A and B are shown apart, each in its own frame.
Chain A
Amino acid sequence: MSLKRILSLAAELLMLVLVFLLIIGPMMSLFIWSVAHRWYWPNTLPQEVGFEYWKQALGMRTSLAIGAISILPAFFLSLGIAVVVVIISMLIAIPAGYALAKYRIPFGAFIMFLFLMPNAFPQQPIFVNLLGIFTRLSLAGTVQGVILVHILVGLVFGIWITSATFRSIPSYLEEAAYSVGAGRLYTFFHITLPLAAPGLLASAVFVFITSLDEFTGTFFIGVPFVSTLPMTLYSSSGYNMQYASVIAIILLIPSILFMTLIQKVLRAEYVGGMG
Chain B
Amino acid sequence: MCLMYGYPFLSSIVRSFINSQGEFSFENYSKTVDLYLKDIVFTLAVTVVSTAVSAALAILLSVYLRLRQSPVSRLLTGLYKVPIFIPFVVVAQMMNTFLAPHGLLNLSLTKLGMIDLEYPLQLFNFYGLTFGFIWKMIPFSVLIIHGGFQMIDNSYIEAARSCGAGLMRVITRVLIPMNRPSILVALVLVYSQIVGTFTLPYMLIGGKIPTTITVDIAHRINYFRDFGVANALGVFSYLLVLLTAIYYLRSSVKKMAGAQDGEG
Contacts and interface: CB of A to CB of B under 8 A. Distances in A.
A26 interface: yes
A209 B86 CA distance: 10
A122 to B, nearest CB: 3
Interface in B85-127: 85-98, 102-105, 107-108, 110-111, 117
B171 to A, nearest CB: 16
A137 to B, nearest CB: 11
A51 interface: no
Contacts, number: 245
Interface in B238-264: 238, 241, 244-245, 248-249, 252-253, 256-257, 259-260, 263
B98 A29 contact: yes
Given A215-B87, A215-B199, A268-B143, A121 B94 contact: no
The residue in B15, B90, B98, B237 that gathers the most chain A C-beta atoms within 10 A of its C-beta is B90
Interface in B119-153: 135-136, 140, 143-144, 147
Contacts of A33: 97
A119 B248 contact: yes
The residue in A129, A130, A155, A271 that gathers the most chain B C-beta atoms within 10 A of its C-beta is A129
Contact of A125 (B7, B86, B93, B237): B237
B1 A155 contact: yes
A265 interface: no
A123 B213 CA distance: 12
Contacts of B245: 120-121
Given A215-B89, A273-B193, A124 B198 contact: yes
A27 B61 CA distance: 21
A121 to B, nearest CB: 6
Q: Tell me the dominant secondary structure on chain A's binding face.
A: helix
B192 A122 contact: yes
Interface string A6-28: 00000011011001101101111
Interface stretch (B19-27, B29-37, B74-82, B154-162): B74-82
B143 A266 contact: yes
Contacts of A188: none
A111 B110 CA distance: 55
Nearest to B1: A114
A245 B8 contact: no
Interface residues of B, number: 88
A208 B9 CA distance: 25
Q: Tell me the dominant secondary structure on chain B's binding face.
A: helix
A158 to B, nearest CB: 12
Interface in A109-161: 109, 111-133, 148, 152, 155
A129 B140 CA distance: 29
B86 A25 contact: no
A80 interface: no
A255 B234 CA distance: 29
B210 interface: no
B97 A114 contact: no
A124 B97 contact: no
Nearest to B60: A15
Given A111-B1, A131-B221, A275-B87, A124 B253 contact: no
A258 interface: yes
Interface string A232-266: 01100100010011011001100110110001001
A90 interface: no
Contacts of A111: 1
Contacts of A213: 87, 89-90
Given A44-B111, A122-B214, A268-B189, 11 more contacts: A12-B72, A15-B76, A120-B192, A121-B192, A124-B214, A128-B12, A129-B231, A219-B218, A244-B93, A248-B90, A271-B140
Closest 10 CB pairs of A and B: A122-B196, A125-B234, A275-B88, A213-B87, A120-B245, A129-B8, A275-B87, A29-B104, A26-B94, A255-B85
Interface of B: 1-2, 4-9, 11-12, 15, 61, 64, 68, 70, 72-73, 75-76, 79-98, 102-105, 107-108, 110-111, 117, 135-136, 140, 143-144, 147, 185-186, 189, 192-193, 195-199, 203, 214, 217-218, 221, 227, 230-231, 234-235, 237-238, 241, 244-245, 248-249, 252-253, 256-257, 259-260, 263
